[in-house]
Structure 1
Amino acid sequence: MNGFGYEYKVETFNKVVEVLCKNKLVLEAKHVVVKLKDCIEPDGVTYRWLIYGFCDVGDLIEASNVWNLMVDEGFEPDVDAIEIMLETLFKNNKLDEGLKLFQSMRVKRMDDLGLSTYRLVIKWLCKRGKMGESYVVFEEMQMRGIKPDNEVLGSIIYGLMSRGRMNEAYKVLEGVKNADICVYHGMIKGLLKLKKPSEATQVFREMIKRGKSLEATKYVERVIDRGHEVPRFDYNKFLHYFSNEEGVVMFEVMAEKLREVGLFDLADIFARYGQKMATRDRRRNRATES
């Protein structure tokens, strides 16, 4: 490049590393970094993308090696790198190691901790049923003047529900002024885990009634833009649990409501399931009569 009058720039170099890592070509990205190290000194952004790349392909050991190399060379991990590392540790069932990293941030760089980091830690603590620890983090966040968003509250609700603390979960839900799909998702998922399809249906109806399903696309786009995995709601499990009760009419009404708000695919699922239940009931009735 220099021979053609183009100066080596770490910013341009980092763009190449970013594209490679985003396309799961982190080994190639690392090779480029090593090969060109004499020409272009990697900076904190370079290392952050390598950490992201190795975390993305599930290579926690290599991600840790890059992390240590970055620190040894005097670069302080930014919040994005820390959150990537935290997410990967939590996903790989290394909760204690992730909490140690979070604790080191609380001790050394408390001012750098914002809503996104707290949201991540609370989500995984609630997933693992560590409600005591999650409340400590939740209270710390509020004491620092950081207002919890609905994703945080949805995680708290799910954590409480999964531990069978339904009354507390409903109190949190009642206290949410503008509940969105994040909050309802946490409640429905928790109720299904407790095998309470009737209550899950009531919450689902309330969500549709308030038009919150319209926010689903925006919610998914927002989560993907932040590089996070979209939470999955298992509608098949929801339908399976409710099939043990009288739900034919409910499914027909639900299908109509979903079509009204433009969710035709989901409406078709409910309609087909309602038809199957009606057919099954007719077969049962004929068997009983005969």
Structure 2
Amino acid sequence: MTVRWPRLLTPTYLSQIIRNQKNPLTALQIFNEAKSKYPNYRHNGPVYATMISILGNTGRITEMKEVIDQMKSDSCECKDSLFVDAINTYARAGMLDEAFTLFKNIPKFNCVNSTESFNTLLQIMVNESRFEVAHRLFLENSCGREVRSRIRSLNLLMRSLCEKGRSDIALQVFQELDYQGCYPERETYRILMKGLCGDGRLNEAKHLLYSMFWRISQKGSGADIVIYRTLLNAFCDHGQVEEAVDILGKILRKGLKAPKRCSHRLDLSHYSDVPDAERIKQLVNEALIKGSIPSLVSYSAMAVDLYNENKITEAEKVVKEMQVRGFRPTPVMYEAKVKAFCREGRVDEAVKVIEMERVEGNCVPTVKLYNIVLRGLCDGGKSASAVGYLKKKMAKQVGCVADKETYSILVDGLCHEGRFVEASRVLEEMLIKSHWPCIDTYNMLITGLCSVGRQYEAEMWLEEMISQSMLPPHSVWISLVSSVCCNMSNLQVCDECYNLLRTS
């Protein structure tokens, strides 16, 4: 190991050094060696966070725990995000008790705010259906000084209850907000409105709307359109069109604060004569847009909501009207549109959004937008086209550099199509760009190469994997040994495989 140590070491410089090491144990060795080389040097919170992140991402949980204990002894100031990474690492490894214990010990560290780690652990417990633990966690920690925002935690609980069809309990949680000293936000109403309407609890949903009028929408906001649309569509789906029309009028007056000149232009009386429920909902959507003060926020909220429901034609109408009004589509709208096309399997149209519409709208594409398209191509069985798109289009876009997620999408897509040789090339480029793949990527590629008789490449990636201190599971060894044994004429490879197996 050769390290070019500076005359004066700073935590920022040390973070750069250890981040550039592909072997996490080498990075840990450098991290520990720094104190002996520089007696006056002290690790700070960011360098600890870097080291813990490296060890956690590579599955070196034992070493990660030792570094966390060392940080507690140093008593250096650290941020809550550090514990978020460690908690997620424990959760991925199925060590939920360790994650819980770490959170309870946060007060022993020099960390004054544990809001993010609290919400992260609460989300994990809910996802694992450990509701009693989640409830106890909330009661014991939500009122402490370290947790500064309880509304996000309550939103999380309500969302989970609604997804499980228990909007009645979520409504009880909502009604307890005042006792918790919390003020409901727009997301709170959106979550609960969607849950109540999904469970057919329209009467409660209507009363929730009236509550929203005087708590959220006193000034009228275009972003509220999505919540109103959820309620109105639910009434239409249940055949209560007259009730929906009546509520629509109240929304325009009280919720969106529409000027009289806007509401007078809308004739709502003929809505009940329309026999098709879908057509009625389209008219309601149009009324929400045309009956309010035109704004980029309202158009964007409505279009994104329609795209998320795969109602692309309706969303396009909203976008066109928006452009006529002089507003330009936002990056969020382009992302929602591309996702909708990809979900529908219309990947070619998703590509056109980036290559044509984005240019016309003077919106610079982001890596996130490109990754959505690449994932759509791979999911549609066009991983080879995705690789070509990366090289011909994305690589030539100024300011848009492929990241770790980009390469991971391509490698996974190629492997799922059985293109293991091409996946091997992409993974090689990924390493050249200093993006270190996770252990699952190596496992999938090595197993795939063995299945097509490419033992040599499989062995090379196995050595690369071991050089990064990753421990291959038994299934990988079995695949490699089985592949070699099926081709016993290749004695050299067989001997090398045996030596690797013996020394690992």
TM range (shorter): 0.5 to 0.7
Which of 120, 127, 152 aligns to 1:116? It is: 152
d(CA) in 2 for partners of 1:198 and 1:56? 48
Question: What amino acid sits opposite 2:187 in the alignment?
Answer: E
CA distance 1:160–1:141, shift in 2 (3 Å): same
| Cross-structure match for 2:297 | 214
Which of 303, 307, 310 aligns to 1:235? It is: 307
Contact 1:125 1:134 in 2 (8 A): yes
d(CA) in 2 for partners of 1:188 and 1:42? 54
Unaligned runs of 5+ in 1: 220-231, 244-249, 274-290
Q: Do structure 1's residue 55 and structure 2's residue 88 form an aligned pair?
A: yes
Which of 183, 187, 190 aligns to 1:147? It is: 183
CA distance 1:47–1:20, shift in 2 (3 Å): farther
Q: Do structure 1's residue 67 and structure 2's residue 108 form an aligned pair?
A: no
Shift in Å, 1:11: 1.9
Where does 1:143-182 land on structure 2 (aligned, <5 Å)? 143-174=179-210, 175=213, 176-177=216-217, 178=219, 180=221
d(CA) in 2 for partners of 1:252 and 1:68? 50
Where does 1:1-290 land on structure 2 (aligned, <5 Å)? 1-2=34-35, 3-17=37-51, 20=54, 25=57, 27-28=59-60, 31-34=63-66, 37=69, 41=73, 45=78, 49-55=82-88, 59=92, 61-69=94-102, 71=104, 75=108, 78-105=114-141, 109=144, 112=147, 114-174=150-210, 175=213, 176-177=216-217, 178=219, 180=221, 183-186=224-227, 188=229, 191=233, 197-198=278-279, 200-202=281-283, 204-205=285-286, 206-207=288-289, 209-211=292-294, 214=297, 233=305, 235=307, 237=309, 239=311, 253-259=317-323, 260=325, 261-263=327-329
d(CA) in 2 for partners of 1:193 and 1:57? 44
Shift in Å, 1:33: 4.7
| Cross-structure match for 2:486 | none
Farther off after superposition, 185-194 or 129-138: 185-194
Farther off after superposition, 141-150 or 184-193: 184-193
Deviations 1:250-287 (A, max 9, x none): 777534313233228969x7xxx9xxxxxxxxxxxxxx
Shift in Å, 1:151: 0.7
CA distance 1:74–1:26, shift in 2 (3 Å): farther
d(CA) in 2 for partners of 1:199 and 1:60? 49
d(CA) in 1 for partners of 2:103 and 2:90? 19
d(CA) in 1 for partners of 2:53 and 2:105? 25
CA distance 1:185–1:109, shift in 2 (3 Å): same
CA distance 1:180–1:96, shift in 2 (3 Å): farther
CA distance 1:61–1:212, shift in 2 (3 Å): farther
Contact 1:151 1:182 in 2 (8 A): no
Question: What amino acid sits opposite 1:201 in the alignment?
Answer: Q
Contact 2:57 2:89 in 1 (8 A): no
Deviations 1:22-55 (A, max 9, x none): xx72635763452584586376958863444453
d(CA) in 2 for partners of 1:180 and 1:124? 26
d(CA) in 2 for partners of 1:57 and 1:210? 49
Farther off after superposition, 252-261 or 163-172: 252-261
Deviations 1:107-136 (A, max 9, x none): x74995622222222232233232332233
Contact 1:18 1:49 in 2 (8 A): yes
Contact 1:150 1:180 in 2 (8 A): no
Identical positions, percent: 11
CA distance 1:146–1:233, shift in 2 (3 Å): same
CA distance 1:12–1:236, shift in 2 (3 Å): closer
CA distance 1:29–1:99, shift in 2 (3 Å): same
Farther off after superposition, 91-100 or 30-39: 30-39
CA distance 1:137–1:263, shift in 2 (3 Å): same
Question: What amino acid sits opposite 1:82 in the alignment?
Answer: F
Unaligned runs of 5+ in 2: 1-33, 238-276, 342-504
Partner-residue secondary structure (3-state), 1:103: helix
* CA RMSD between the two structures: 4.6
Contact 1:115 1:148 in 2 (8 A): yes
Shift in Å, 1:90: 2.3
Shift in Å, 1:141: 1.6
CA distance 1:86–1:124, shift in 2 (3 Å): same
Contact 1:89 1:97 in 2 (8 A): yes
d(CA) in 1 for partners of 2:157 and 2:166? 11
| Cross-structure match for 1:226 | none
Contact 2:225 2:298 in 1 (8 A): no
Partner-residue secondary structure (3-state), 1:143: coil
CA distance 1:26–1:169, shift in 2 (3 Å): farther
Partner-residue secondary structure (3-state), 1:142: coil
Question: What amino acid sits opposite 1:64 in the alignment?
Answer: D
CA distance 1:130–1:47, shift in 2 (3 Å): same
Structure number with larger C-alpha Rg:
2
